[in-house]
Structures are given as C-alpha cells and as structure tokens.
Structure 1
Amino acid sequence: MTRAPEAHDADFRAFAVSRWPRLLRTAQLLTGHHHDAEDLVQVALAKAYARWHRVTQSADPDAYVWRIMINAHRDRIRGLRAFEWLTTRFPEQSVRDQAEQVLARDVLTSALQRLPPRQRAAVVLRYIEDRTETEVATLLGARIGTVRSRAARGLEKLRADPAVRDLRTQGKRQEVSRRAGAAGRTGVR
C-alpha cells in the first residue's frame, strides 16, 4: 500500500526542518562559505526528496542524506575550475571575545579549505560533527582504517598549518595573561 502524497510531503518537510541546522553547519565546514553551504544543503535535500521512498526505507535516513550531501559536494568540487579564496570576515560587534571567536573560526575554516577534500570530509564528520569512525566510513564509502588515516593526516596538517599554530600560541598567551590578571586582582601571587 502506498502512502498519500500529502503524508510523503509532510514526512519530508518534518525531516528537512529538523535536520536543516546540522546539515547547514556541516555543509558550511565543507564548503567554507555560508551561501555555498545553503546551496549544497538545498541540492542534497532536493535529491533526497526525489528519492524519499528509498531514504525512508534505509536503515539510517540521516546517513543516507548526509551521503547525498557529501557526494553533491564532491561533484561540486570536481566542477570548480578556479579555486576560491576565502576572505577574513570582520565581526559585526566590537566585543573582543566575539572578535576572537570569529577570527578563530575563520582561521580554522581557511585551514580546513587547504586540506584535500577527502581529508576535510573525514575531519569534519569525525571531529566537528562528532560521528563515530563507523558512521564516517559508511558516509564516505570507505573502510574504517581509511577514515582513521585520513582523519589523522588531516589533523596533522591542521596542527602544522602556520595560521592554526599561531592561533594556538596566541590563545595560550592570552590564557596565561588572563590568569595572571585574575590572580593580581584577587591578591593571589
């Protein structure tokens, strides 16, 4: 017995609304740009809608849609003929902590963009999306050992990236400075 088109649409709409923020966050980390991320999520959801019956019949509908999005991103990268260079965005507010967070996010996003696409996908899914190695392997269509090596190599490249290293060093200096300032205000020496 087939379901009514209205129920099909309602199921898909509920799925899309509940998954949109997480899909968008992952897509933004994969693409490095908010507008490209929105386009990528829309493409993935359009493809999922066209195959919604198969998506709902799968063991893990979330993984199915994430896989569609990763494949769409891979196809998008293959189609790019010129590289895109991300610019540093200035914070809308001049609050120091928010500015530091924006700078750190931009540095990390830029560093992620310098990783090869497969390493980037492994790092984003494994550490930023907090997925298990098994889930990442399923999403990427790779073996668990391949996911481990891609993620390890990606993290190694991120740690070796001069901008990330400078950011980490600067963060440590600021933490020491904050602690020293707090100790001075409380009279602790």
Structure 2
Amino acid sequence: MRLRDATRADARDLAYLINLAGEGLPETLWGQMAEGDATPLEVGAERAGREEGGFSYHHARVCIERGRIVGMIIAYRLPDSYDLEGLDEAPATVQPLLRLEAQVPGSWYINGIATLPAARRKGVGRLLMAQAEASAIGAGCHELSLIVAEENHTACAIYHRLGFREIASLPLVPWPGCPHGGRWLLMTRLLEAR
C-alpha cells in the first residue's frame, strides 16, 4: 500500500468515499444541489474536482493498493478565526457541524476518512491517520480535530484508541436514511512536535 496526493481524476472515488465517511449525508446534500439528470454522485465528483473548498481533491490523500484507491482522507487547517456569518443559510443538517468546527480554529481538521469495505482491517486507516498527523505537524498545527456521530460506536472507539477526546457536542439533525440519532461529537487530540 502507498499514499499519494489526490488528483482531479480521483474526484469520483473521493465522492464515493466521502459519502461512506459521512454515512449518506453528502449524497443527500448533493441530491438537493443536482440539476437536470445529474446524479448526486456526479454532483459530488464535480465538487471534489474543484480547486477550492474544504471538499476538494487539493485536501485529499488516497491510499493505493494494487493500482486501486482503497481509502482516502480529506484534512486541512481550519482558519485561525472562524466566521459563522450566514450560518442560517446553510442546510439545517450541516449547521451543527459548522458550529463545532468553529470551536477548534487553527486545528488540523479531518473532514473525512474512509476505507472501502473490502480493504478494512488492513491498516489503511492507521496509515491515513499517520499521514494526517505528519501533515498537521508540518503545517505548524498543534491539534487534530474531527467530528463523529456519537452513535457510530465503532468509529468513536477507534478515535478514543488513537487518543482523541470529546470536547463538545451538538444535537444531530437527521437526514433521509440517517443511520443515527443523538449528537455530533467534536473530538481533538493534541500533537507533540517531533
């Protein structure tokens, strides 16, 4: 297995994987944006191929095994000052996520991490998380941050084992097909410079 920076050509794989990570929320949002006969995944791929925005191939690293993308991570430094102006215009499902992000300005934010089901338990996630830590330290960040649904017990357990701790939470606003209720958890882990 090896990691590499994502390219625009990876946009469709990135859209598929971020939807896995987001447990269907991205697909719901893309479906609301779709025009004409565009499918939600096509909208997601278009967004992943953008040059700007948090969900852009510029912020992604992919894990390759036997010439195929088997996992990805999208991570970047959050702004040092976070502006929530216009928050009410964002979809209700996204508003708690934006409010939580605003509580960790300047952190290295893991927007999404996912592994194809067939590639799980092979160390892909560990490799991607180690990459995120190295990138964060290289960017001068002292903290990793992420948001996870509290009812996603498997992911929460993994993040706890990796040293992440919950620092805040907000109620989750369900979307069609949402597998969880409960709350979104903002988790962080402090980094030591090496």
Q: Above 0.5 in TM-score? A: no
Which structure carries more strand by proportion?
2
TM-score of the superposed pair, with normalisation by structure 1? 0.35
TM-score of the superposed pair, with normalisation by structure 2? 0.34
**Structure label with greater radius of gyration:** 1
